[in-house]
Amino acid sequence: LQVADLNIGILYYFAIAGTGIVGAALAGWASDNKYSLLGGMRAASQMVSYEVTLGLTVIGALMVYGTVRVDEMVRWQAEHTWGLFAQPFAFFLFFAASVAESKRIPFDIPEGESEVVAGYFTEYSGIRFLLFFIGEFAAVGAFGAIAATLFMGGWAVPAAWADLNNNIFNLLGPLILMAKMTLVGGFIFFIRFTMPRFREDQLQKLAWTVLIPLSLVNILATTILKVAF
């Protein structure tokens, strides 16, 4: 399912994902509605905070793989082990930041119905509301694909399985990746139905005092282990 083999690899994905901040902020500002403006400001601050966490958590995995190219990451995992086992702490942090970045419960502060009506798309209806809604669910699928590729072997299977019949697994590659994406996305929606919403101050405190420091600790630990072994 890889559209293009880019030299900058995963960095391009994060660069494109960063443009979503502008859309949320401008949608709230352009509505001429105080609730929408507040929702847009919340969305911008939240997405900036958790994009920092996303970037830092990926650094540990890149140090292990030794490349930013997505296909090379998948090959490394197929030959050795999934990134989930090589970087379990990074996977946990990446998953938490992904839920926040896609603005799913319990991180749905920008659109909290009990506080800001519906957030930055309060004034939008019809096809405009549909595009916002589709965009949020597409973000869940995108983060599921990135998590499956970085930490769950992507479209490949472990080398021991591939030796059984490599041709069959090559043909099933897209289905294998989509199954892993569905697993990650389903777990995000499972959390949606089981956890209450954070307050705005709690959400920012979680990012800047917990997740980001832990991401830096993961980078330090990975560096020490690589130098030692």
Give 76-129 as a DSSP string.
HHHHS--HHHHSHHHHHHHHHHHHHHTT-TTS-GGG-HHHHTTGGGTT--HHHH
Residue 224's pLDDT is what?
93
Model pLDDT, residue 53: 87
Q: Is the pLDDT of residue 116 over 70?
A: no
**pTM for the full predicted model:** 0.83
Residue 18 tokens, joined: 């960063």
Q: What number is the average pLDDT over the span 146-174?
A: 73
With a pLDDT cut of 90, the percent of the chain lying above it is: 13
The per-residue pLDDT of the chain, averaged, comes to: 82
* Mean pLDDT, residues 88-98: 90
The better pLDDT of the pair 111, 46 is held by 46
Determine contact, residues 98/147, Cβ cutoff 8 Å: yes
Indicate if the pLDDT at residue 164 is higher than 80: no
Identity of the residue numbered 158: P
Q: Is the pLDDT of residue 196 over 80?
A: no
What is the structure's pLDDT at 216?
94
Give me the mean pLDDT over the 192-211 stretch: 81
What pLDDT does residue 158 have? 62
Half-sphere exposure of 76 (CA within 13 A, CB side): 20
Mean pLDDT, residues 60-68:
89
Round to whole Å and give the CA distance between 124 and 118: 10
Any residues with CB less than 8 A from the CB of 99 and at least 6 apart, and which?
Answer: 106, 107, 188, 191
The whole-number average pLDDT for the span 10-19 is 84
| Mean pLDDT of all residues in 48-55 | 87
